[in-house]
A and B are shown apart, each in its own frame.
Chain A
Amino acid sequence: MRITCPYCGERDRREFYYRGAAVDLDRPAPDAGPDAWDDFVYLRDNPAGETRDLWYHEGGCGAWIVVTRNTLTHEVSATEPASGGKR
């Protein structure tokens, strides 16, 4: 598997650490209530199709990356910095 780091270009999967769904970026407000927090921390979709997840270019530039890929075809359709380019 190969992933395109938005900074370094296409790299072998071994340079990356996998975290999980990109939902982790949408941190609720402290007072959002138990359901919102339960969703955020524990509940994840398991889509047959497109998914967005977080990878860390640990063996590379250290960027956190949002990877959009398809769990059926394994196609990676987009990668973007988790910072939204603000770093």
Chain B
Amino acid sequence: MYVDKLIAQTLCDGLLPLTIGTVSVTEVDPGAIHAVSAFQGQAKSLSEAMKAAHGMALPAPNRATGKSGARAVWFGPGQVMLIGSTPDPLLSAHAAVVDQSDAWAVVRLEGDGAEDVLARLVPVDLRPQQFKRGHTARTLLFHMTASITRVGEKAFQIMVFRSMATSLVHDLQRAMEGVAARG
């Protein structure tokens, strides 16, 4: 019998990268992603453990801490997503830690007019004066629930459910074409 081998696959396979006009969207390999939800009354000690182990505190609502490679993104009341580094086992004393590394399609939308593209899809004000680097929003991207974080002057990290990667690219492409066509 032949020897089988499991092959890991990227999910935007064949769909990305995509550049239309001045905006591009690329698939991001964010590394490990874990949902970290503090146990009852443990938010403070979790934040301290996070700081000790990963060098960043628990982000406040609508904020992300850390930087590319190790980022903590606020995901909801009592929940952050630790992205890029494998959580220290000590965190489990203070929080439920759930592997989400394969659950999210993560893309980077970047370029002049990236805000205009997102204004066609997202019902939140993402202009730089309102939504600065380190700001994050749980919101909708057209019909999909999403997490959107500004990761650069002209760059956003967008996360939607893995199974919706095709729809994400479809919706982004349509919005990008509309923005590009206006010139």
Q: In the complex the two chains form, what is the Cα distance from A19 to B140 in whole Å?
A: 19
- A57 CB to closest chain B CB (Å) equals 8
Q: In the complex the two chains form, what is the Cα distance from A60 to B61 in whole Å?
A: 12
Instruction: Tell me how many residue pairs across A and B have CB atoms closer than 8 Å.
Output: 44
Question: Provided the pairs A7-B61, A8-B61, A11-B124 are in contact, do residues A63 and B140 lie with their beta carbons within 8 angstroms?
Answer: no
Question: Provided the pairs A15-B140, A58-B145, A62-B76 are in contact, do residues A8 and B62 lie with their beta carbons within 8 angstroms?
Answer: yes
Whether the pair A63, B77 counts as a contact (CB closer than 8 A) is: yes
- A60 CB to closest chain B CB (Å) equals 5
Chain B residue with Cβ nearest A64 = B77
Whether the pair B140, A8 counts as a contact (CB closer than 8 A) is: no
Digit string of A43-63 for contact with B (CB within 8 Å is 1, else 0)?
Answer: 000000000000001111111
- A15 CB to closest chain B CB (Å) equals 6
The bracket for how many chain B residues form the interface is 10 to 19
Which of A11, A12, A62 makes the CB contact (< 8 A) with B77? A62
Return chain B residues, CB-CB under 8 Å to A12: 123-124
Chain B residue with Cβ nearest A83 = B77
B residues bordering A, Cβ < 8 Å? 61-62, 75-78, 123-124, 137-140, 145
A residues bordering B, Cβ < 8 Å? 7-9, 11-12, 14-15, 57-63, 81, 83, 87
